[in-house]
Amino acid sequence: MKKFLKIGTFILVSLVVFILAFVYISYNTWSPGEVKATVDPSALTYYQNSYAECRESFRKLAEEMIFKFDSVEVFPIRVNSRTDNDLTIDVCYIPAQKEKSNLLILSSGSHGVEGFVGSAVQQMVMKELLNKELVAETGVLFIHAINPYGFRNFRRVSENNIDLNRNFEVATDLFSLKNQGYSDLYGFLNPEGKANPESLKNRFFLLAALHKLVKESKKSLRQAIMQGQYQYEQGLYYGGQSFEPQVSLIAPVLKHYSGNYRKIMDIDLHSGYGELGVLHLFPDPVKDVKVKTAVEQVFAGHRIDWGDSDDFYTTYGGFSDYIGKLLPDKFYMPMVFEFGTLNSQTTIGILHSLQNMILENQGVHYGYSSDWTKEEIFMNFREMYCPSSLAWRSKAINDSRYMMETVFRNF
Ligand SMILES: [Zn+2]
């Protein structure tokens, strides 16, 4: 009897060790894979390595627009900061050259660090696509680096830890929203102490996350985390307790330049969510059937994730959605381009994405266990929003070119 008990215990312990080893290895050696696309050197010319360089390239191309088209306006909008006196949102407006029918707004960097690919797409559109015929009846308004602080410092959020894409609204009732699902997960999402990706807790992040997944479905967890929260100022996805300066800086620009146009579309450029190397069309949810149909016509033939599929989630305070509320008299179509990086449509991919965000936020607020871990956290975060893969970068530009040609043709 004793012998059987011994053997039983041995098998059980071995099984537990095996499972833990399997979880440890499969999670910690995971990678989203490689993008299968050829490297296109001409596409890579649109990428720069810092906010300052992206802005300089954007400004240079914007200045060229002045010589190419009539009545072009190019100007910076200064964003005040406690630490940096050189932060600007840059605007380039190309009016419709014959008749003001449609206005296309192309905006980047509301999530600062995502501005690298956003800026690249804006530069490509200016350099390659715009011509006299295209802008005969369609005006184009480029808004570069909505969150310049985050862009410069490789953060997603603003100087006040605020997710700008949860902060754009016309009414302030947004700030009294309560997200109980988030509160329940607070400790898991916002651990205290020095950030250390090598800690046992982080190495077994998958187990902690699976424990949450057993209690809640993947969809409701995703919703609770990503919809945004307005209570915890050091927490992830914080939407603030008041508007960030960008709201009052950009509102008059949008109102002024939308002036005589009947139809307006904004394409807000983002990265980091979705399947590696895929350009997702991921607009804020639209209730108006007419608007929905019109957006579907513009993107004819391409799949649009309306935020009601299992993979996606609804949010509040989004920039693209805000424009429609700010301009209620216009026929307004929202759109978000999301360039996928970490396969966040899979469970393991979304967990890696989330862990990268948790560690980055923890490091900013509590410091790092060492210089080396700081470097590791920073690198993982940057790779998640602007991968260094030349194939990924090439594909993002080539897919955008193809998509933007579709937009100009059908708009
Ligand atoms: Zn984003």
User: What is the band of 170 on the pLDDT scale with cuts at 50, 70, 90?
Assistant: very high
CA of 168 to the centre of ligand 1 (A): 13
Which pLDDT belongs to residue 78?
A: 98
Of 409, 390, 344, give the one whose Cα is nearest residue 32: 344
Question: What 3-state DSSP class applies to 119?
Answer: helix
Alpha carbon dihedral 388, 389, 392, 397, in 10-degree steps, equals 60
Let me know how many helices (H) and strands (E) the chain has, helices first: 16, 7
CA of 3 to the centre of ligand 1 (A): 59
CA of 111 to the centre of ligand 1 (A): 5
More confident residue, 310 or 158: 158
CB 89 within 8 A of CB 79: yes
CA of 271 to the centre of ligand 1 (A): 6
Which pLDDT belongs to residue 2?
A: 80
**In the chain, % of residues over pLDDT 90:** 81
CA of 352 to the centre of ligand 1 (A): 16
CA of 378 to the centre of ligand 1 (A): 17
CA of 270 to the centre of ligand 1 (A): 4
Evaluate if residue 45 carries a pLDDT over 90: yes
CA of 401 to the centre of ligand 1 (A): 20
Which pLDDT belongs to residue 174?
A: 92
Evaluate if residue 302 carries a pLDDT over 70: yes
Conformation bin of residue 167: beta by default, left when phi > 0, alpha when psi is -120 to 50: alpha
Ligand 1 being an ion, which residues bring their Cβ within 5 A of it?
A: 111, 114, 270
Which pLDDT belongs to residue 81?
A: 97
The conformation of residue 244, written as its DSSP 8-state character, comes to: -
CA of 317 to the centre of ligand 1 (A): 12
pTM over 0.85: yes
Which residues lie across from 304 on neighbouring strands?
281
Task: For 251-272, give the DSSP string.
Answer: HHHHHHHHTT-SEEEEEEEEES
Residue-wise pLDDT tens digits, 69-103: 999 999 999 999 999 999 999 999 999 999 999 99
Evaluate if residue 218 carries a pLDDT over 80: no
Evaluate if residue 311 carries a pLDDT over 60: no
Q: Quote the tokens at residue 58.
A: 């954007």
Which pLDDT belongs to residue 308?
A: 67
354-382 burial, b if ≥16 CB within 10 A, otherwise e? bbbbbbbbbbbeeebbeeebbebbeebbb
CB 139 within 8 A of CB 261: yes
Residue-wise pLDDT tens digits, 348-383: 999 999 999 999 999 999 999 999 999 999 999 999
> What are the structural domain ranges in the chain?
41-179+227-341+387-410
CA of 22 to the centre of ligand 1 (A): 33
User: What is the band of 23 on the pLDDT scale with cuts at 50, 70, 90?
Assistant: confident
Residue type, 136: A
CA of 68 to the centre of ligand 1 (A): 32
Residue-wise pLDDT tens digits, 386-405: 999 999 999 999 999 999 99
CB 167 within 8 A of CB 239: yes
- How far apart, in Å, are the Cα atoms of 51 and each of 60, 122, 174? 14, 14, 30
Cα(322)–Cα(327) distance, rounded to whole angstroms?
A: 9
Q: Quote the tokens at residue 400.
A: 């955008």
Crossing angle (nearest 10°) for helices 289-298 and 390-410? 120
Which pLDDT belongs to residue 309?
A: 62
CA of 342 to the centre of ligand 1 (A): 13
Cα(232)–Cα(236) distance, rounded to whole angstroms?
A: 8
CA of 133 to the centre of ligand 1 (A): 32
CA of 302 to the centre of ligand 1 (A): 20
CA of 114 to the centre of ligand 1 (A): 6
Conformation bin of residue 162: beta by default, left when phi > 0, alpha when psi is -120 to 50: beta
User: What is the band of 190 on the pLDDT scale with cuts at 50, 70, 90?
Assistant: very high
CA of 272 to the centre of ligand 1 (A): 7
Which pLDDT belongs to residue 312?
A: 60
**In the chain, % of residues over pLDDT 70:** 98
Among 17-26, 41-50, 272-281, 401-410, the least confident range: 17-26
CA of 135 to the centre of ligand 1 (A): 28
Of 17, 108, 103, 130, give the one whose Cα is nearest residue 55: 108
- For residue 36, the tally of other CB atoms under 10 A from its CB is 9
The domain at 41-179+227-341+387-410 falls in which architecture? 3-Layer(aba) Sandwich (3.40)
Cα(31)–Cα(160) distance, rounded to whole angstroms?
A: 32
Question: What 3-state DSSP class applies to 388?
Answer: coil
CA of 157 to the centre of ligand 1 (A): 10
Cα(319)–Cα(314) distance, rounded to whole angstroms?
A: 13
Evaluate if residue 24 carries a pLDDT over 90: no
Which residues lie across from 104 on neighbouring strands?
140, 265
CA of 136 to the centre of ligand 1 (A): 31
CA of 280 to the centre of ligand 1 (A): 12
Evaluate if residue 1 carries a pLDDT over 80: no
CA of 99 to the centre of ligand 1 (A): 33
Sheet containing 263-271, strands listed edge to edge, beginning at the edge strand earlier in sequence: 73-78, 88-94, 138-144, 102-108, 263-271, 331-339, 279-281
Which pLDDT belongs to residue 285?
A: 82
Evaluate if residue 213 carries a pLDDT over 90: no
Residue type, 391: A
Residue-wise pLDDT tens digits, 123-169: 999 999 999 999 999 999 999 999 999 999 999 999 999 999 999 99
CA of 321 to the centre of ligand 1 (A): 14
Interval 269-276 mean pLDDT: 96
Summary mean pLDDT of the chain: 94
